[in-house]
Amino acid sequence: GIQVEQSPPDLILQEGANSTLRCNFSDSVNNLQWFHQNPWGQLINLFYIPSGTKQNGRLSATTVATERYSLLYISSSQTTDSGVYFCAVVGGYQKVTFGIGTKLQVIP
Amino acid sequence: NAGVMQNPRHLVRRRGQEARLRCSPMKGHSHVYWYRQLPEEGLKFMVYLQKENIIDESGMPKERFSAEFPKEGPSILRIQQVVRGDSAAYFCASSPLRGPDEQFFGPGTRLTVL
């Protein structure tokens, strides 16, 4: 099956700092999503981004499908950004494979 | 438009009991997926269902676990004779179309086996 690697595994940021999270995948995919799992365990859709670039407020994402990676940018981080960020890719039959996540802690 | 609904949100069972987890997809969605998340881990795919059909159950344990999505009513994930290792968060997601499409997740059911 498809392998998904996320980096870094852990990240501590000062409030206001910017960061880039990376997701590499081992094979061509039909789609890719970024999720934020907040400290209460809820999964929040951030981006559905099989290719190209999207922006939503302080967050943006870029997927380069031909090179099998995606990047999630967080600018001017806030404490509410804390949690785990997952990259999930879809191969055949819509089976979703999740990376192990990047655990982000934003400190005031 | 209500999101994906899951209930119960928390479920406690003793070893050997049965656990039934329910998932109602978003309105207009006919595809349902179940995932399991062990503590400090990512989500693992379990099963993909359409109404009255299991499309892909390659992630389901071979014993004790079953899933259905009847013509009427929610999708059910059933775990028989639960063991402590079944303690996890179980998430359901739904999508509207076959083929690559965005999935929307429910709040999850946290199962604790005593």
For A49-103, write each residue's pLDDT tens digit.
999 999 999 999 999 999 999 999 999 999 999 999 999 998 766 678 999 999 9
Please name the member of B45, B107, B110 whose beta carbon is closest to the beta carbon of A95. B45
> What does the pLDDT read at residue B42?
85
CA distance A69 to A23: 5
> What does the pLDDT read at residue A24?
97
Name residue B32's beta-bridge partners: B49, B94
Residues across chain B: 114
Please name the member of A48, A94, A99 whose beta carbon is closest to the beta carbon of B42. A99
Q: Residue B95: what residue type? A: S
Both tokens assigned to B40: 């400090």
Name residue A69's beta-bridge partners: A24, A64
At residue B109 the predicted structure's pLDDT band, cuts being 50, 70 and 90, is: very high
* Set of chain A residues whose Cβ sits within 8 Å of the Cβ of B89: 41
> What does the pLDDT read at residue B98?
65
> What does the pLDDT read at residue A95?
73
**Contact flag A41-B107 (C-beta cutoff 8 Å):** yes
Among B48, B103, B110, pick the best mutation site for testing chain A contact (most A Cβ within 10 A): B103
Mean pLDDT of the B44-61 span: 92
* Set of chain A residues whose Cβ sits within 8 Å of the Cβ of B91: 43
At residue A1 the predicted structure's pLDDT band, cuts being 50, 70 and 90, is: confident
Mean pLDDT of the B103-111 span: 94
* Set of chain B residues whose Cβ sits within 8 Å of the Cβ of A94: 31, 33, 48, 55-56, 95, 98-101
Q: Is the pLDDT of residue B53 over 80?
A: yes
Tens of pLDDT, residues B1-44? 579 999 999 999 999 999 999 999 998 898 999 999 998 788 99
Q: Is the pLDDT of residue A22 over 70?
A: yes
Instruction: Give strand ranges (E) for chain A.
Output: 4-7, 10-14, 19-25, 31-37, 43-48, 52-56, 59-64, 69-74, 83-90, 96-98, 102-107
> What does the pLDDT read at residue B99?
59
Q: Return contacts of A95-98, CB within 8 angstroms, 24+ apart.
A: A95/A1, A95/B45, A95/B48, A95/B56, A95/B58, A95/B59, A96/A33, A96/B33, A96/B35, A96/B43, A96/B45, A96/B93, A96/B103, A97/A1, A97/A2, A97/A3, A97/A4, A97/A25, A97/B45, A98/A4, A98/B35, A98/B42, A98/B43, A98/B44
> What does the pLDDT read at residue A57?
96
> What does the pLDDT read at residue B47?
94
> What does the pLDDT read at residue A107?
96
> What does the pLDDT read at residue B100?
60
